């Protein structure tokens, strides 16, 4: 019997988890802990094994000016809502997209922010500026701490975007090198749980397009260590270029 998409996804995630845990165990002493997740400092692993997300209100952010947002809307460019990965990679993505098809990019990227906050920002921009035809969500890494809430936020984003625009969503791969192997397995399990929620929503909405960053990493396990500096954020420039290229290819196809 031919395996379905869910079975393939689960097997791939399990293989990725095993490869990442093995690799990070060998090199853990050489890898600095990431400070870009707002996790509580207690020893609790939380209800889902990855820990507890702390306050993100004061975290690093990159937000376009009203003039930049209005220009992007008028030019029918791309609005982007992301987390710390996008804070790191957003400028390089804007340059790559501009060079590829001339589209400007306006961003609302905020480190440590869960998807609920990103969708709040999407709602604010929709109300204040209106929306272009392409919306990019690069959010979900911080939802590993509370995966059950994610599907509702994806549905909420789709509702805000409406049926006549395209919502692009970069999927999730988090296995932090700075945590124990037990928590790393929880990270991968929760990442896969989030991704399955994305795919379930895609089956309902034709205008939701998933950018398959997780699968691109899994297909060659060495990418999980060579293209991610801490198990979450892309290395620069190797991982950054690879992820941004996947995004641009989807946006301009």
Range of the domain at 188: 5-252
Report the CATH number that the domain containing residue 59 is assigned in CATH.
Answer: 3.40.50.1110
Pairing of strands 61-63, 105-110: antiparallel
CB atoms within 10 A of CB 167: 23
The two three-digit tokens of residue 154, written as one number: 């994806």
Predicted TM-score (pTM) of the model is 0.87
Residue 88 is encoded by which pair of tokens? 């790191």
Query: pLDDT confidence of 227, banded at 50, 70, 90?
Result: very high
List, in sequence order, the alpha helices (H) in 50-180: 66-74, 84-101, 115-129, 150-161
109-163: pLDDT as tens digits: 999 999 999 999 999 999 999 999 999 999 999 999 999 999 999 999 999 999 9
| Rounded-to-5 percentages of helix, strand, coil across the chain | 55, 15, 35
pLDDT tens figures, 1-59: 333 455 445 545 555 555 544 444 333 222 233 445 554 434 579 999 999 999 999 99
pLDDT of res. 12: 54
pLDDT at position 26? 34
For the chain, the average pLDDT equals 88
SS3 readout for 26-82: HHHHHCCCCCCCCECCCCCCCCCCCCCECCCCCCCEEECCHHHHHHHHHCCCEEEEE
Report d(CA 167, CA 204) in Å as an integer. 13
Residue 44's pLDDT is what? 78
Tally of domains in the chain: 1
**Is the pLDDT at 167 greater than 80, yes or no?**
yes
pLDDT at 34: 41
Contact predicate 136/79, CB 8 Å: yes
């Amino acid at each position: 019997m031919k395996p379905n998409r869910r079975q393939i996804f689960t097997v791939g995630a399990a293989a990725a988890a095993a490869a990442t845990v093995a690799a990070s165990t060998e090199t853990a002493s050489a890898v600095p802990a990431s400070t870009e997740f707002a996790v509580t400092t207690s020893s609790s692993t939380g209800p889902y094994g990855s820990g507890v997300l702390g306050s993100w209100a004061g975290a690093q952010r990159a937000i376009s000016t009203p003039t930049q947002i209005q220009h992007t809307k008028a030019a029918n460019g791309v609005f982007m809502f992301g987390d710390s990965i996008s804070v790191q990679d957003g400028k390089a993505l804007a340059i790559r997209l501009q060079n590829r098809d001339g589209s400007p990019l306006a961003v609302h990227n905020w480190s440590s922010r869960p998807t609920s906050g990103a969708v709040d920002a999407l709602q604010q921009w929709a109300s204040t500026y209106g929306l272009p035809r392409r919306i990019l969500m690069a959010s979900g890494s911080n939802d590993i701490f509370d995966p059950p809430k994610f599907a509702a936020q994806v549905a909420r984003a789709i509702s805000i975007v409406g049926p006549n625009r395209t919502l692009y969503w970069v999927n999730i791969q988090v296995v932090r090198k700075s945590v124990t192997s037990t928590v790393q397995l929880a990270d991968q399990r929760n990442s896969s749980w989030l991704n399955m929620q994305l795919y379930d929503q895609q089956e309902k909405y034709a205008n939701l397009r998933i950018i398959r960053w997780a699968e691109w990493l899994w297909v060659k396990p060495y990418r999980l260590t060579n293209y991610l500096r801490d198990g979450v954020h892309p290395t620069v420039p190797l991982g950054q270029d690879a992820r941004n290229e996947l995004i641009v290819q989807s946006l301009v196809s």
